[in-house]
Amino acid sequence: MACFLVLLLYSNLYNMLHKFIEFTLKSSDEIQIILFAGIMLIGLYIERIAASYHIENKWKHSLLNFPFIITNVPIQFIMGIIFVKTIHFTGMNEFGVIHFFSSIHNHFWVFIIGFSMLDLGEYVYHLIMHKVKRLWMFHIVHHSDNSIDVSTTVREHPGENFIRMSFTFLWVFLSGCPLWVFVIRQIIQVVTTLFAHVNFQLPEKLNNIIGLIFITPNLHHIHHHYKQPYTDCNYGDVLSIWDRIFGTFQNTPPEKIVFGVDSIEDKNNVSNFKYLIKVPFGKYLKRPDSTYE
């Protein structure tokens, strides 16, 4: 009887996965837009009733970050088309790491392998953006926000958006992941990225449990601390396991966190959209030596 129930459960889950795959392939763009808008509204509500950090003039802060959506939409659209064509190419030619496991026909394991490769790729991309000086100048726009909340998610220079999408294109090409894996992974990324920037701290015990595998707001807030080495830690996108494996994991009490970067000292500059757009093309903003203060 127990074996029958297990088989029945497995069969139902397998059928549900198939239906979800079909659904995402037919309306992936719509799903992501609805999810993004819905989760952002939920995030704003959480911040309204249980914010961990006080933000002076919250709506003014949000309005500064939202123009980055407009500057990034064309890049997202063009790169989206390239992704679809690339995935079609790797599928038709059986190119990529996943196709080396040709004996694996189970969707679950195909998803685990593809998802893990893409998430590891995002970790590598994030690490590179911090270590290469000129790339850091693009990424510093995101880190320059002195008040982290859900709107910080979209605070990304269009140049970095193109760089990030180019790296994602590389991981998609090398992994050979199917379109449905990529779409589901993107949906999960939308949820976790928005969640990571919410102005809210999980209770310590809950954070310690969830943070064993996933990036939480608590862990990502540490990444936004204005001083090194905390700025150079917790690079994970969805999973925190890469930071633990590669020794870039850090933890610190939330009361010690101060948002922003110590490379940009003038707070008026970090609230100026025109200045932020020009930052990557200007003089390198030297980073002070690492300190735990």
Q: Is 3 a domain residue?
A: no
Domain range for residue 138?
A: 73-281
Quote the CA–CA distance of 290 and 196 in Å, as a whole number: 24
Given a cut of 60, is residue 226 above it in pLDDT? Answer: yes
CB 186 within 8 A of CB 193: no
pLDDT tens digit sequence for 95-113: 989 888 766 777 888 899 9
pLDDT tens digit sequence for 16-69: 655 655 655 555 566 656 655 665 556 554 555 555 565 666 777 778 888 898
Number of domains in the chain: 1
Q: Is 224 a domain residue?
A: yes
What is the secondary structure of 120-158 as a DSSP string?
HHHHHHHHHHHHSHHHHHHHHHHHT-SS-SGGGGG---H
Q: Is 49 a domain residue?
A: no
Q: Is 162 a domain residue?
A: yes
Q: Is 67 a domain residue?
A: no
Q: Is 170 a domain residue?
A: yes
Q: Is 55 a domain residue?
A: no
- Mean pLDDT of all residues in the chain? 82
Q: Is 21 a domain residue?
A: no
